[in-house]
Amino acid sequence: MDALEAFPKPPKISEDDLKKAREIGDYRPVLFEWYKYVGSLCVFLAVLRRDSPALRNVPAQEYSALVGLLNRCARLMLANVALSHKGFFGETTAILDRCIFESAIKLIWLCETSESDRFRRFIADGLKTELEFKGKIEANIAERGGAALTIEARMLRSIDKYIAASGLASAEILETKKLPDLASMVDALGHDRLLYLIGQKIGSHHVHGTWPSLRMHYLEEEDGELRPRDHDCPTHVNQYVFVPQVVLNAMSAFVAYVFAQDGEAACFVSFFDSVRHEINAINKEVVGNDFELANEV
Distance CA 6, CA 235 (A): 31
Q: Which residues of 140-171 are buried (b: 16+ CB within 10 A; e: fewer)?
A: ebeeeeeebeeebeebbeebeeebeebebebe
Which pLDDT value is given to residue 212?
Answer: 94
CA 166/CA 62 separation, integer angstroms: 10
Q: What is the pLDDT of residues 189-238, one digit of tens each?
A: 988 888 888 888 888 999 999 999 999 999 999 999 999 999 999 999 99
DSSP state of 8: P
The answer, yes or no, to whether residue 297 has pLDDT greater than 60, is: no
Give the model confidence (pLDDT) of 279-294 as tens digits.
Answer: 999 999 998 766 666 6
With 60 as the cut, is the pLDDT of residue 59 above it?
yes
Local confidence band at 55 (pLDDT 50, 70, 90 cut-offs): very high
Average pLDDT of the chain? 92
- Fill in the DSSP letter of residue 241: H
Among 37-41, 134-138, 186-190, which is the least confidently predicted range?
186-190
Average of per-residue pLDDT across 167-195: 92
Residue 1: pLDDT over 50: no
Query: For the whole model, what pTM was predicted?
Result: 0.91
Q: How far apart, in whole angstroms, are the C-alpha atoms of residue 103 and residue 119? A: 14
217 vs 240: CA distance, rounded Å:
18
| Burial (CB count within 10 angstroms: exposed 0-12, middle 13-18, buried 19+), residue 56 | exposed
User: Domain spans of the chain?
Assistant: 3-115+184-194+236-287
- Between CA 35 and CA 51 the distance in angstroms is 29
- Asked if pLDDT for residue 108 goes beyond 90, the answer is yes
Using alpha carbons, select from 131, 122, 113, 104 the residue that is nearest to residue 179.
Answer: 122
DSSP 3: G
- Whether the CB-CB separation of 275 and 295 falls below 8 Å is answered with no
Percent of the chain at pLDDT above 90? 82
**Comparing 105-109, 230-234, 253-257, which segment has the lowest mean pLDDT?**
230-234
